Every structure is written in C-alpha cells, then in structure tokens.
Amino acid sequence: MGWQKSGGRVGISACVFILCIGMAQAHAVSVQPAVAVIARFQQTLLSVMKKAPELGFKGRYRILAPAVRESHDLPFIAEITVGPYWPQLTAAARAAFVRTFTQLTVATYAAQFDGYSGEAFQETAAHAVAGGDVLVETTLTAHGRKEATLDYLLAQSGSHWKIDNIVANGVSDLALKRAQYTAVIQNKGFPALLAMLRVKVAQLSKAR
C-alpha cells in the first residue's frame, strides 16, 4: 500500500515535471521567432551603421526599407497612432497615412543610424506577455558601455512576428506618436497632420 502511495506520488511528480518541461518548451517556441526577428533587424541596423558614410542617406534608406517593412507591423502601428480618429478616415486617407508613416519610419532610421562608433546590441531577456505578444528586452552599448535599453513588443501578424512598439529608456515610441498625432488632429485636422509628416520625411531625406 505504501509502495502504491509512493508510486502514485512519483507518477504525479513525473506528470508535473513533464508538464513543466512541455510548458517551458512551448514558452521557448513562442518566444524564439520573435527574438530572431529582433536579432535580424538589429544586425541589419549594425551593418548599415558600419557602412553609413559610403551608403549615404539614400543607400541606408534602400537597405532599411525592406528590413523595416518585414520586422515592423507598420499598418497596425499607424492605426494605433491616430487612435480614435482612425474609424473616421476614408480608405484613401488611411492608405495615404500608412504610406507616409512607413516612409517616415524608414527615413527616421536612415537619418538616425548614420555612423558607427563601437555600438552593439545585446538581448537581455524575452518574455511572453498578455495577449500572446512577446517582449524582447535588449541593450544598446557603445564600447561596452550601456547607452540605452530598447524593449520591443512583438505580436503575430499572419505567420510572422512583427514589432508593434519600441520602448527606449522607458519612453514608448507608440505612445509618443499617438499623443502627438491625436493632438495635431484635434487642433488642426487630419490633412494638417499628413502634410506635417510629409514635410518631416522631406527634411529627414536631406540627411547625409
């Protein structure tokens, strides 16, 4: 009887152990593709930074455009940034906004990552978070010294994992854009916002 009891306990323990292993594997499986997206994107950024002077703005833009489109869920991010005004936009206005927003995102990367001085990205952690999304935490270092923390929130879009938001040193890119864009729409209207974003793209495109 004692043997049966202890055998039962062993059985339960084994089940719990196997379940834990299974859950750990499921967690690893769910997080790994998102981590790979970030690693690939940051690798592209680094390679562009290292060749920044030869490439110039246009060269950097050309390389980064497909990498940004592949790794960022730009239509979704664009929708979130205009918040409650999105349902009021016409299909044409939405398409124009997503197009301009995409150009602005790529142009911002191409303008900002314009040189290399010993920078490196390091993944520090990855977690499955609410709604099946994944948070990938990374740090940006320069000559081994920590410059910034960069946290990426990714969600599954179709069969791909894509970035929905980036939090740099605690500052959410999505929240910043949304606060500004909704303020501009509220005060000046959507056409004014679109015009301002186009001006920003043109200004950033003048970078070397």
Binding site for another protein (CB under 8 A): 75-76, 79-80, 83-95, 108, 111-112, 127, 129-131, 133, 135, 145, 149, 151, 153, 155, 164-165, 167, 169-172, 174-176, 178-186, 188-193, 196-197, 200, 203-204
Straight-line distance from the first to the last Cα atom of the chain, in angstroms, rounded to the nearest whole number: 81
CA angle 78, 84, 90 (to 5 degrees): 65
Complex with another protein: residue 42 or 73, whichever CB lies closer: 73
Complex with another protein: residue 85 or 116, whichever CB lies closer: 85
Complex with another protein: residue 44 or 100, whichever CB lies closer: 100
d(CA 161, CA 199): 31
d(CA 88, CA 195): 18
Residue 61: CB minimum distance to another protein, A: 15
Complex with another protein: residue 39 or 128, whichever CB lies closer: 128
The amino acid occupying position 38 is I
Residue 207: CB minimum distance to another protein, A: 9
Q: What does the block give as tokens for 72?
A: 């960022």
Residue 142: CB minimum distance to another protein, A: 12
Closest CA to 80 of 193, 178, 182: 178
Question: Where does the chain show beta strands of DSSP type E?
Answer: 119-128, 134-142, 145-157, 160-168, 171-172
Q: Which residues pair with 149 in a beta bridge?
A: 139
For 85-104, letters b (16+ CB in 10 Å) and e give beeebeeebbebbbebbbbb
d(CA 139, CA 123): 7
Residue 32: CB minimum distance to another protein, A: 18
Residue 19: CB minimum distance to another protein, A: 23
Residue 72: CB minimum distance to another protein, A: 14
